[in-house]
């Protein structure tokens, strides 16, 4: 590892990279999510104690795994009740017999994906599945998961606890689902992977606008799913959407890390091969049946990416696709994005009228893009005093340093007296 890394920074990096693998492997070995989480945390604490003095080991992930497994064994030796319960669960799993793989000879190749599908079990409430996956498999903090689902952190903490309790009390097995179970669990897994990508594409908090490793991990998982479930068009749609959005990553921030909006981005820096791959997948996802939400969103992203400049964007088609998406998945966030597209097609007044209709939506009250979008349209209409108030509201809600700096600059331009 680089010499300039401190042990603490190394632990953080390893934690982000290895936590999901570590948890999945420990859950598979011991069959208990709480135990896996506890010993994972203990292993991280041990690393913080030993690595500053002894140096970061050559294989830090393996070091953490060995330490966590030893802690788990020690815990089971001390807690006979827990050991007995886990033994019973193992016997029940063995009696259930082997579960058929997705295809003959083709199993899920990543332990995390096995746990993804377990956490998307139909016995869990729909709102709990994605939260559990993001918290324990993707390694997001509870506030980050709350931000992804637009709910308060306290509400999300209750959801996560409820989901863990349900898994324990219902004795939901940690195993690869059978081929007949996969379709019912797939939507929850797709949602969780997309939420992981969203946190990587637009971080909810922290010093950076993007967390590329999270976005790339989501794309990797989606590729595995698409390879295994090539007949599922929404799997292709999700992969297409993420590729088409991630293709803009290098142009989305300036040299100082501040966000660069779509109309100001240098499109020559967009990843052309990734756009071509995403566009082909988007077309495939819309062929052979009714469109799905991810396929429609991928088609919207493709129209943005294929336009050589902003004025060449097919806003008519984008608005039409948002109409389809709003019918498939009605939500305030989709309505917000549609309003922005209408503003580009019909002018800022038409877009602002639609935004004002969303003013009382609870899900948008803590969502800084809403007041930021209003501020932009108000400024374009010459209503700068109202625009400044909206920018201040967005500034109070923004979670990352780059977003706050971007909004502060916009506000400064409005407050600056004319030359």
- pLDDT, tens digit, for every residue of 358-409? 999 998 988 999 999 999 999 999 999 999 999 999 999 988 888 888 899 9
Give the pLDDT of residue 281: 97
Give the pLDDT of residue 216: 87
Asked whether residue 17 is domain-assigned, the answer is yes
Asked whether residue 115 is domain-assigned, the answer is no
* CB distance 177 to 99 below 8 Å: yes
Nearest to 108 by CA among 59, 22, 181, 200: 181
Asked whether residue 268 is domain-assigned, the answer is no
Q: Distance between CA 222 and CA 300 in Å, rounded?
A: 19
Read off the pLDDT of residues 193-246 as tens digits, 9 standing for 90 and up. 888 788 888 777 667 777 787 788 889 889 888 887 788 899 999 999 999 999
State the residue range of the domain holding 408.
331-419
Q: Distance between CA 412 and CA 418 in Å, rounded?
A: 12
| Domain count along the chain | 2
Which residue(s) pair with 259 in the sheet?
A: 253
Give the pLDDT of residue 14: 59
Asked whether residue 406 is domain-assigned, the answer is yes
Asked whether residue 323 is domain-assigned, the answer is no
Query: Please, is 96 exposed, middle or buried when counting C-beta atoms within 10 Å of its C-beta (0-12, 13-18, 19+)?
Result: exposed
Residue at a domain's end among 97, 118, 134: 97
Residue at a domain's end among 34, 67, 97: 97
Give the pLDDT of residue 5: 40
Give the pLDDT of residue 187: 86
Q: Distance between CA 186 and CA 120 in Å, rounded?
A: 8
Give the pLDDT of residue 345: 97
Asked whether residue 116 is domain-assigned, the answer is no
Domain with 357 in it: what CATH number?
1.25.40.10
Asked whether residue 102 is domain-assigned, the answer is no
Give the pLDDT of residue 189: 84
Asked whether residue 225 is domain-assigned, the answer is no
Residue at a domain's end among 62, 97, 132: 97
Residues of the chain with pLDDT below 50 are: 1-7, 88-89, 91-109
Expressed in angstroms, the distance from the first to the final Cα of the chain is 52
Instruction: List the Cα angle 394/361/235 in 5-degree steps.
Output: 90
């Amino acid at each position: 590892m680089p010499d300039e890394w401190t042990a603490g920074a190394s632990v953080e990096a390893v934690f982000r990279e290895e936590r999901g693998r570590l948890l999945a492997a420990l859950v598979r070995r011991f069959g208990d999510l709480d135990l896996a989480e506890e010993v994972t945390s203990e292993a991280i604490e041990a690393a913080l104690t030993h690595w500053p003095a002894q140096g970061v080991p050559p294989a830090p992930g393996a070091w953490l795994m060995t330490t966590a497994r030893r802690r788990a064994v020690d815990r089971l030796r001390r807690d006979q009740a827990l050991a007995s319960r886990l033994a019973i669960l193992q016997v029940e799993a063995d009696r259930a017999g082997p579960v058929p793989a997705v295809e003959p000879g083709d199993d899920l190749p990543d332990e995390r994906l096995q746990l993804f599908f377990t956490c998307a079990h139909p016995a869990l409430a729909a709102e709990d599945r994605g939260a559990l996956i993001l918290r324990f498999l993707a390694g997001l903090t509870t506030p980050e998961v709350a931000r992804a689902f637009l709910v308060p952190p306290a509400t999300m903490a209750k959801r996560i606890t409820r989901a863990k309790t349900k898994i324990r009390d219902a004795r939901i097995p940690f195993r690869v689902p059978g081929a007949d179970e996969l379709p019912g669990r797939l939507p929850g897994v797709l949602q969780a992977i997309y939420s992981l990508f969203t946190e990587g594409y637009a971080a909810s908090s922290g010093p950076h606008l993007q967390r590329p490793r999270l976005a790339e991990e989501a794309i990797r998982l989606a590729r595995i799913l698409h390879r295994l479930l090539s007949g599922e068009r929404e799997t292709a749609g999700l992969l297409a959407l993420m590729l088409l959005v991630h293709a803009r990553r290098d142009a989305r921030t300036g040299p100082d890390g501040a966000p660069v909006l779509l109309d100001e981005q240098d499109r020559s820096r967009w990843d052309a091969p990734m756009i071509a791959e995403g566009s082909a997948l988007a077309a495939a996802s819309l062929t052979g049946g009714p469109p799905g939400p991810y396929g429609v969103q991928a088609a919207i992203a493709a129209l943005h990416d294929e336009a050589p400049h902003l004025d060449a964007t097919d806003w008519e088609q984008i608005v039409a696709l948002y109409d389809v998406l709003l019918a498939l998945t009605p939500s305030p966030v989709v309505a917000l994005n549609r309003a922005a597209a209408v503003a580009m097609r019909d002018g800022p007044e038409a877009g602002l009228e639609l935004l004002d209709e969303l003013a009382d939506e609870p899900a948008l009250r803590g969502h800084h893009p809403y007041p930021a979008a209003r501020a932009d349209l108000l400024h374009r209409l010459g209503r700068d005093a109202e625009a400044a108030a909206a920018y201040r509201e967005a500034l109070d809600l923004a979670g990352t340093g780059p977003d706050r700096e971007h909004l502060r600059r916009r506000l400064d331009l409005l407050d600056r007296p004319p030359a």
